[in-house]
Amino acid sequence: MYNKKDLLGLKDLSKNELEYILQTTEEMEKSIELKDNKYKLYADYSVMSMFYENSTRTKLSFVTACNNLGINCIDMNVSTSSVNKGESLIDTLENIEAMNTDLLIVRHSMTGTQHIMAQNSNMGIINAGDGTNEHPTQALLDMATIRKYKKNIDGLKVAIVGDILHSRVARSNAYGLTTLGANVTFGGASTLVSEDMKCLGVRVTNDITEAITDADVIMGLRVQNERQKTSNFPSNSEYNKFFGIHKDMLKYAKEDAIIMHPGPVNRGVEMDIDVIEHNQSVILPQVTMGVYVRMAVIKILLDNRK
Ligand code: CP
């Protein structure tokens, strides 16, 4: 079961809670495939979203998930909102709650913003990414995709390769995957992957080939140019040469390894195009799974409000 009001991160979720969300995701997937409208029961609930950072996948899949549950999700377009007149975060929150909103989906550039919101509101808060901290629904959809292709996460070797330093996806995946028994390795340039990340229960290496050797899952991560305060590597072409994932490296991974990326992808930077488009790539199936995971999370949090 998952009895909490909010979904803020995977750091403190138990194995049972993670498995409950993943099982509910599988129910959502079946229902959508059967087109049975079995879960289109939530029209009486109000869900809103606020994205202080750009998004394509997360925002649209939350909207699609709401549609599939019979909910008309309303987005507060941050760039045209009264945030730009100086309204505070808590005042914004209180005004949204005053409209009888049940759930609020939030992406924000500052770590911990959604935790502050959850402490100051009776609404359920879903973290759609907070700074470099966590992106729980992305990691849940990654885990659901791994389960779909590999059946069981326990004992799998998962290589997460790229700009780990700025990655909330890497952090949420480290928490969730290790709780479910996977062996996770972080691989990347020494400016983007460091020894102190071992506190997340992962192995760390600056050798990309070593990271993906014997991997069941290879997850590439985007170079987050917008978060780089200093230059962490000389150029994109040199980054690709020394730290990118190339097709000829795949022979070191398990023969049936799947290739993942949360998107958006910098083609030819962190991953070569023939890796992105490889027949073992599940990058677009991850996006499809995002709808089912977000349906599951919204359904669970709304059921908890009954
Ligand atoms: N993976 C992900 O969070 O993508 P968006 O930034 O497009 O939502």
The pLDDT assigned to 235 comes to: 84
pLDDT in the model for residue 224? 82
DSSP 36-60: --TT---TTS-EEEEESS--SHHHH
In this prediction, residue 100 carries a pLDDT of 98
Note down pLDDT in tens along the chain; length 306 residues: 999 999 999 999 999 999 999 999 999 999 999 999 999 999 999 999 999 999 999 999 999 999 999 999 999 999 999 999 999 999 999 999 999 999 999 999 999 999 999 999 999 999 999 999 999 999 999 999 999 999 999 999 999 999 999 999 999 999 999 999 999 999 999 999 999 999 999 999 999 999 999 999 999 999 987 766 667 777 888 889 998 999 999 999 999 999 999 999 999 999 999 999 999 999 999 999 999 999 999 999 999 999
DSSP state, residue 281: B
Residue with tokens 């869900």: 47
Specify the ligand 1 atom closest to the Cα of 54: 6
Cα torsion 129, 143, 12, 25: sign: positive
Closest-CA residue, ligand 1 atom 6, reads 55
Query: What pLDDT is stored for residue 175 in this prediction?
Result: 98
Please give the Cα distance from 120 to 124 (Å, whole number).
11
Rounded Cα–Cα distance for residues 6 and 136 (Å): 11
Residues 6 or more apart whose Cβ sits within 8 Å of residue 296: 21, 24, 25, 27, 28, 140
Is the CB of 57 inside a 6 Å radius of any atom of ligand 1? yes
pTM above 0.95, yes or no: yes
Q: Please state the atom number of ligand 1 nearest to the C-alpha of residue 129.
A: 3
264 lines ligand 1 (CB under 6 A): yes
Q: Which residues touch 160 (CB under 8 Å, ≥6 apart)?
A: 170, 173, 174, 184, 185, 186, 187, 202, 219, 221
Q: 56 CB under 6 A from ligand 1?
A: yes
Cα Rg of the chain, angstroms: 19
Establish whether residue 120 lines the binding site of ligand 1, counting it when its CB lies within 6 angstroms of any ligand atom. Answer: no
Q: How far is the CA of 32 from the centre of ligand 1 (A)?
A: 22
Mutate to test the pocket of ligand 1, among 51, 57, 286 (most ligand atoms within 8 A of CB): 57
Residue 216 Cα to ligand 1 midpoint, Å, equals 24
**How much distance in Å is there from the Cα of 306 to the middle of ligand 1?**
30
Atom of ligand 1 nearest to the CA of 59: 8
CA 305 to chain centre: 24
User: Which has the closest alpha carbon to 140: 175, 104, 115, 183?
Assistant: 175
Ligand 1 atom 5: residue of nearest CA:
55
- Ligand 1, pocket-test mutation among 51, 56, 132, 288, most atoms within 8 A of CB: 56
pLDDT at residue number 230: 65
